[in-house]
Structure 1
Amino acid sequence: MSESLALKQSMQTAAKEKEAAHPVSKVMRGSYLSVSENLSAGEVLDMVRSSCLKNDQLNLVFVSGRSGRYSGFVRLSTLLRAPESTQMKTLAKGRDLFVTETSDQEAAARLLQKRDIPMLPVVDENQRLQGVLTFDDAMDILEEETSEDIYWKAGVGDPLHMKDTVRSEKLTLGGIGYTLKVRIAFLLVTLAGGLLVGGLIDHSA
């Protein structure tokens, strides 16, 4: 097996392990409005007005078709402009815009960011809506992933116990033992590299 193929397989395995460890189902929320595709815009607006949900939880109204399968969403702004007799299935968009419960959190967050929507639907294996990933939660996920990447590149990633906690808090508020532990691998590699370079210089001299 070539080194490039082995590296590719290793990266694929790591990606699958990460996806399994951080499914979007762990952060999805259950506060959203879902309606039948056969309801009219007027009927759904009445539901919106009487809903106990917060305003930002009503920016999208999710639509379900036969057997409860997810069939898209309607923006509240679209709903307000539509004739009251218009059926929701006519207004629904984004039929294929969703993630499954086992999807990786970061991938889901990046999809939400790319498509510029306030909530991303999360469905089960039967494509029934189970929850939503909110914009705020998606931004938190991306911020945490960015922080982890930065600390790993700086040599302060935790090679022993990969936690979901942002490393900056643990490094600034934690004890000296944690700081030494996360730095030791980086320091050993640096030391080995220095010795190797020094040996090469001495040999060439």
Structure 2
Amino acid sequence: MSEANGTSVNLKTSPVGGGGVPLADVVARQLETLLEAGNYDGAKLLLQPVQEVDIAEAIGTLPRTLQALAFRLLPKDEAIEVYEYLDPSVQQTLLDRLRSGEVLELVEKMSPDDRVRLFDELPAKVVRRLLAELSPAERRVTAQLLGYEAETAGRLMTTEFIDLKEFHSAAQALELVRRRARETETVYSLYVTDGSRHLTGILSLRDLVVADPQARIGDVMTREVVSVSTETDQEEVARAIQRYDFLAVPVVDREQRLVGIVTVDDVIDVIEQEATRDLYAAGAVQAGDEDDYFQSNLFTVARRRVVWLSVLVVANGFTSEVIALQGKVLSQVVVLAAFIPLLIGTGGNVGAQSSTVVIRGLSTQRIQSLGATRTILREAVAGALLGVLMLVVVVPWAWWRGEGPLVGLSVGMSLLAITTLAATAGAALPLLFDRLGLDPALMSAPFITTATDVAGVFIYLQTAGWLIGRLGTG
């Protein structure tokens, strides 16, 4: 219970503040008040029972002039953990405002994987300076991780793990875990290597604790180990951890030597990053540094969005051209123009729905068991069924509004063809991109909608022209 500034808030047990306000917001408001009043002892007292992640969020919402001040109030060990939770923009602000000695100590004590993520956000000149000032051991580890390709297991992993030997007894292994527990990322998964550091087995902390103290690790470990290579894409790493319910997955190099582990908390960040990227692509927003999108200036925001919009504007120009070329049909039956928005809107929505479910199915790998051909056929049939269901409402209305069968038949036949085509295209184009090794999310809802707009108008006016030749305009 904190009594700072005369306000009592149960910070240990409440996930939110009073009235449903997030805890970090409550802490941030009180912390800002205390810092502006110069009550540093009260600020320290306020932060003592708060979890590191909530402290990081609270510091991130403070004015920049107070962020470094609040950070300096934290004990050194806690400051390292809080710093790793901060947004990259706040981390850079603190690096600018802290003294060089404080910065070096902060970076030196960070986990290798968190240090690499920080370096990815910093200018190359700053990274080179910080690398040169690190201790030889930390410099070597950091350079090793930076040497792997971005968004791979090698770049994502940490080298802080516990490896045991098969000849160790359970008692010896447990003593080793006790000694190294504080300096490792996790102790719940323990890995066994041979003299050349090849991964030979795995056991959980539970297995170690319940084993006979004199039992050899080689006799109690599991030899069937699921691992990933340093070149494995981070999405594949996330799927492996999800599939097997791991807390961590070992990472091996080309010689099957254990070089690191990827933990579940890092995978959660990957899942968020990839989901954000896919959502941006689905909204026809150019990929960029997704995490700082809402802190970007307006020119950067416009630049990211204008690329796809320009492409879509050009594509929509074809719709106008199709309408212009079919001007004779529209001049004969003007009321046909009233149904163009309905048809292209329906086609665009059906196509967007199909592309969304297929892109998501590819992302989660749920679609692989069905196969590309069956997936496209399934969506085509679904599109046809949707068209038939909509005919029940649309055709009678179009017949009545057009004062005869011409408009009703044109709309009905076109609607069935458009929904079937839109669903087929919405499923086929993402699958085609995936087969070509491109990002299926590029076949986003706006792109599918625009493509079906052009095709839908063409089908509708061609159908109407054909019917005019058969039925006449009367």
Instruction: With the length of structure 2 as denominator, give the TM-score of the two structures.
Output: 0.36
- How far off is 1:85 after superposition? 2.1
Q: 1:125 aligns with which of 218, 243, 254?
A: 254
Which structure is higher in strand share? 1
1:139 matched to 2:268? The reply is: yes
What SS does structure 2 have at the residue aligned with 1:62? strand
Instruction: With the length of structure 1 as denominator, give the TM-score of the two structures.
Output: 0.79
1:60 matched to 2:189? The reply is: yes
What SS does structure 2 have at the residue aligned with 1:68? coil
Taking a change above 3 Å as real, the CA distance of residues 62 and 107 of structure 1, as seen in their structure-2 partners, is same
Q: Is the 8 A contact 1:22 1:104 kept in 2?
A: yes
Cα RMSD (Å): 2.1
- How far off is 1:21 after superposition? 4.2
What SS does structure 2 have at the residue aligned with 1:67? coil
Corresponding letter in the other structure for 1:186: W
Q: 1:169 aligns with which of 283, 288, 292?
A: 292
1:109 matched to 2:232? The reply is: no
- Provide Cα deviations, 1:8-36, integer angstroms capped at 9, x if missing partner: xxxxxxxxxxx954322112111111010
- Give distance in 2, aligned partners of 1:168 and 1:48: 36
- How far off is 1:127 after superposition? 1.2
Corresponding letter in the other structure for 1:100: S
What SS does structure 1 have at the residue aligned with 2:309? helix
- Give distance in 2, aligned partners of 1:26 and 1:20: 6
- Provide Cα deviations, 1:107-143, integer angstroms capped at 9, x if missing partner: 1122112111111111122211111111111111111
Q: 1:29 aligns with which of 158, 180, 183?
A: 158
Displaced runs of 4+ in structure 1, greater than 3 A? Answer: none
1:193 matched to 2:315? The reply is: yes
- Show the counterpart of 1:4: none
Q: Is the 8 A contact 1:72 1:97 kept in 2?
A: no
Q: Is the 8 A contact 1:23 1:102 kept in 2?
A: yes
- How far off is 1:194 after superposition? 2.0
Q: Is the 8 A contact 1:31 1:53 kept in 2?
A: no
What SS does structure 2 have at the residue aligned with 1:30? coil
Taking a change above 3 Å as real, the CA distance of residues 56 and 25 of structure 1, as seen in their structure-2 partners, is closer
- Select the structure with the greater relative contact order (CA < 8 A; seq sep ≥ 6): 1
- Show the counterpart of 1:11: none
- Give distance in 1, aligned partners of 2:251 and 2:184: 20
Larger radius of gyration: 2
Please list, as runs of the form range in 1=range in 2, the aligned pairs for 1:17-96 lying within 5 A after superposition: 20-53=149-182, 57-93=186-222, 95-96=224-225
- How far off is 1:59 after superposition? 0.3
Corresponding letter in the other structure for 1:122: V
- Give distance in 2, aligned partners of 1:187 and 1:47: 59
Q: Is the 8 A contact 1:32 1:53 kept in 2?
A: no
Uncovered stretches (5+) of structure 1, i.e. residues with no partner = 1-18
Q: Is the 8 A contact 2:149 2:155 kept in 1?
A: no
Q: Is the 8 A contact 1:148 1:157 kept in 2?
A: no
User: Quick one: percent identity of the two aligned structures?
Assistant: 24
- Give distance in 2, aligned partners of 1:138 and 1:86: 34
- Give distance in 2, aligned partners of 1:67 and 1:29: 19
- Show the counterpart of 2:444: none
- Provide Cα deviations, 1:128-175, integer angstroms capped at 9, x if missing partner: 1111111111111111011001101101123xxxx5x3x2522x2111
- Give distance in 2, aligned partners of 1:173 and 1:104: 28
Q: Is the 8 A contact 1:31 1:131 kept in 2?
A: yes
Corresponding letter in the other structure for 2:202: F
Corresponding letter in the other structure for 2:312: T
Q: Is the 8 A contact 2:157 2:262 kept in 1?
A: yes
- How far off is 1:195 after superposition? 1.5
What SS does structure 2 have at the residue aligned with 1:84? coil
